Chains A and B, each alone.
Chain A
Amino acid sequence: MAQMTMIQAITDALRCELKDNENVLVFGEDVGVNGGVFRATEGLQNEFGVDRVFDTPLAESGIGGLAVGLCLTGYRPVPEIQFFGFVYEVMDSISGQLARYRYRTGNTFNMPVTIRSPFGGGVHTPEMHSDSLEGLMAQQPGLKVVIPSTPYDAKGLLISSIRDNDPVVFLEHLKLYRSFREEVPEESYTIPLGKADVKREGSDLSIFAYGLMVHESIKAAEELEKEGYSIEVVDLRTISPLDIDTIIASVEKTNRAIVVQEAQKQAGIAANVVAEINERAILSLEAPVLRVAAPDTIYPFPQAENIWLPNYKDILETAKKVLTF
Chain B
Amino acid sequence: MGEKKTKVFNPAATLNEIENKFEMFQILNEKGEVVNKDALPDLSDEELVELMTRMVYTRILDQRSISLNRQGRLGFYAPTAGQEASQLASHFALEKDDWILPGYRDVPQIVWHGLPLWKAFLFSRGHFVGNQIPEGVNVVPPQIIIGAQYVQTAGVALGLKKRGSKTVAITYTGDGGSSQGDFYEGINFAGAQKTPAIFIVQNNQFAISTPREVQTAAKTIAQKGIAAGIPSTLVDGMDALAVYVATKDARDRAVRGDGPSLIETMCYRYGPHTMSGDDPTRYRTSDIDNEWAAKDPIVRFRIFLEGKGLWNEQKETEVIERAKEEIKEAIKKADETPKQKVSDLISNMFEELPHNLKEQYEIFKAKESK
Which residues of A does B touch, CB under 8 Å? 25, 51, 56-57, 59, 61-62, 64-75, 92-93, 96-97, 102-110, 141-142, 144, 164-166, 194, 241-245
Residues of B within 8 Å of A67, CB to CB, are 155
Nearest CB in chain B: distance from A116 CB, A = 17
Inter-subunit contact B189/A141 (CB<8 Å): no
- Please report the C-alpha to C-alpha distance between residue A208 and residue B128 in the assembled complex, in whole angstroms: 38
Minimal Cβ-Cβ distance residue in B for A27: B158
Inter-subunit contact B350/A92 (CB<8 Å): no
Residues of B within 8 Å of A144, CB to CB, are 354
Inter-subunit contact B159/A75 (CB<8 Å): yes
Residues of A within 8 Å of B192, CB to CB, are 57
Residues of A within 8 Å of B154, CB to CB, are 62, 65-66, 69
Inter-subunit contact B162/A51 (CB<8 Å): yes
With known contacts A70-B159, A107-B348, A65–B169 Cβ distance under 8 A: no
With known contacts A102-B348, A103-B348, A109–B140 Cβ distance under 8 A: yes
Minimal Cβ-Cβ distance residue in B for A52: B162
Residues of B within 8 Å of A103, CB to CB, are 128, 345, 348-349
B49 at the interface (CB under 8 A from A): no
Nearest CB in chain A: distance from B350 CB, A = 5
Segment with Cβ contacts to A, from B129-137, B217-225, B294-302: B129-137
Nearest CB in chain B: distance from A32 CB, A = 13
- Please report the C-alpha to C-alpha distance between residue A249 and residue B264 in the assembled complex, in whole angstroms: 61
With known contacts A96-B145, A97-B152, A65–B186 Cβ distance under 8 A: yes
Interface string of B175-191 (1 = CB under 8 A from A): 00000011001101100
Inter-subunit contact B155/A66 (CB<8 Å): yes
Nearest CB in chain B: distance from A253 CB, A = 19
Residues of B within 8 Å of A25, CB to CB, are 162
Residues of A within 8 Å of B94, CB to CB, are none
Inter-subunit contact A72/B155 (CB<8 Å): yes
Inter-subunit contact B355/A65 (CB<8 Å): no
Inter-subunit contact A75/B162 (CB<8 Å): yes
Inter-subunit contact B129/A106 (CB<8 Å): yes
Minimal Cβ-Cβ distance residue in B for A54: B193
Interface string of B181-211 (1 = CB under 8 A from A): 1100110110010000000000000000000
With known contacts A92-B145, A194-B354, A62–B188 Cβ distance under 8 A: yes
Minimal Cβ-Cβ distance residue in A for B137: A108
Residues of B within 8 Å of A141, CB to CB, are 349
Inter-subunit contact A104/B131 (CB<8 Å): yes
Inter-subunit contact B148/A97 (CB<8 Å): yes
New contact pairs (20) apart from A165-B351, A243-B355, CB-CB < 8 Å: A56-B189, A59-B181, A62-B151, A62-B186, A65-B150, A66-B154, A69-B158, A70-B159, A73-B159, A73-B163, A93-B148, A96-B148, A97-B145, A103-B128, A104-B128, A105-B132, A108-B132, A166-B351, A242-B355, A244-B355
Inter-subunit contact A73/B160 (CB<8 Å): yes
- Please report the C-alpha to C-alpha distance between residue A5 and residue B14 in the assembled complex, in whole angstroms: 55
Inter-subunit contact A93/B151 (CB<8 Å): yes
B314 at the interface (CB under 8 A from A): no
- Please report the C-alpha to C-alpha distance between residue A74 and residue B152 in the assembled complex, in whole angstroms: 14
Inter-subunit contact B349/A108 (CB<8 Å): no
| Total A-B pairs, Cβ < 8 A | 137
With known contacts A69-B169, A194-B354, A108–B151 Cβ distance under 8 A: no
B244 at the interface (CB under 8 A from A): no
Question: Interface range on chain B: under 10, 10 to 19, 20 to 34, or 35 or more?
Answer: 35 or more
Inter-subunit contact B155/A110 (CB<8 Å): no
Cross-chain pairs A/B with CB under 8 angstroms, 11 sampled: A59-B181, A61-B182, A66-B151, A69-B154, A70-B159, A73-B162, A92-B148, A105-B141, A106-B128, A141-B349, A242-B356
Minimal Cβ-Cβ distance residue in B for A60: B185
Inter-subunit contact B156/A59 (CB<8 Å): no
Q: Which of B133, B153, B188, B354 has the most CB of A within 10 A?
A: B354
Inter-subunit contact A59/B188 (CB<8 Å): yes
Inter-subunit contact B156/A72 (CB<8 Å): yes
Taking a contact as CB atoms closer than 8 A, the residue among A57, A75, A106, A243 that contacts B348 in the complex is: A106
Interface string of B337-370 (1 = CB under 8 A from A): 0000000010111110011110000000000000
- Please report the C-alpha to C-alpha distance between residue A76 and residue B164 in the assembled complex, in whole angstroms: 17
- Please report the C-alpha to C-alpha distance between residue A166 and residue B158 in the assembled complex, in whole angstroms: 21
Q: Which of B145, B157, B185 has the most CB of A within 10 A?
A: B185
B99 at the interface (CB under 8 A from A): yes
Inter-subunit contact A166/B141 (CB<8 Å): no
- Please report the C-alpha to C-alpha distance between residue A46 and residue B357 in the assembled complex, in whole angstroms: 42
Query: Lowest 10 CB-CB distances: which A-B pairs, in order?
Result: A69-B155, A65-B151, A73-B159, A241-B354, A62-B185, A69-B156, A66-B155, A106-B128, A106-B132, A59-B185
For chain B, residues 109 to 136, give those with C-beta under 8 angstroms from any C-beta of chain A. Answer: 128-129, 131-133
Q: Which of A70, A102, A106, A241 has the most CB of B within 10 A?
A: A106
- Please report the C-alpha to C-alpha distance between residue A70 and residue B76 in the assembled complex, in whole angstroms: 29
- Please report the C-alpha to C-alpha distance between residue A62 and residue B149 in the assembled complex, in whole angstroms: 11
- Please report the C-alpha to C-alpha distance between residue A144 and residue B357 in the assembled complex, in whole angstroms: 13
Residues of B within 8 Å of A165, CB to CB, are 351
Nearest CB in chain B: distance from A245 CB, A = 7
Minimal Cβ-Cβ distance residue in A for B144: A96
- Please report the C-alpha to C-alpha distance between residue A97 and residue B151 in the assembled complex, in whole angstroms: 11
Residues of B within 8 Å of A62, CB to CB, are 151, 154, 182, 185-186, 188-189
Residues of A within 8 Å of B131, CB to CB, are 104-106, 108
Nearest CB in chain A: distance from B260 CB, A = 13
Minimal Cβ-Cβ distance residue in A for B128: A106
Residues of A within 8 Å of B160, CB to CB, are 73
Inter-subunit contact A72/B189 (CB<8 Å): no
Inter-subunit contact A70/B158 (CB<8 Å): yes
Residues of B within 8 Å of A102, CB to CB, are 348-351
Nearest CB in chain B: distance from A81 CB, A = 14
- Please report the C-alpha to C-alpha distance between residue A68 and residue B356 in the assembled complex, in whole angstroms: 26
With known contacts A57-B192, A65-B150, A73–B156 Cβ distance under 8 A: yes
Q: Which of A51, A104, A141 has the most CB of B within 10 A?
A: A104
Minimal Cβ-Cβ distance residue in A for B163: A73
Residues of A within 8 Å of B155, CB to CB, are 65-73
Nearest CB in chain B: distance from A94 CB, A = 11
Inter-subunit contact B350/A142 (CB<8 Å): yes
Interface string of B263-283 (1 = CB under 8 A from A): 000000000000000000000
Inter-subunit contact A65/B148 (CB<8 Å): yes
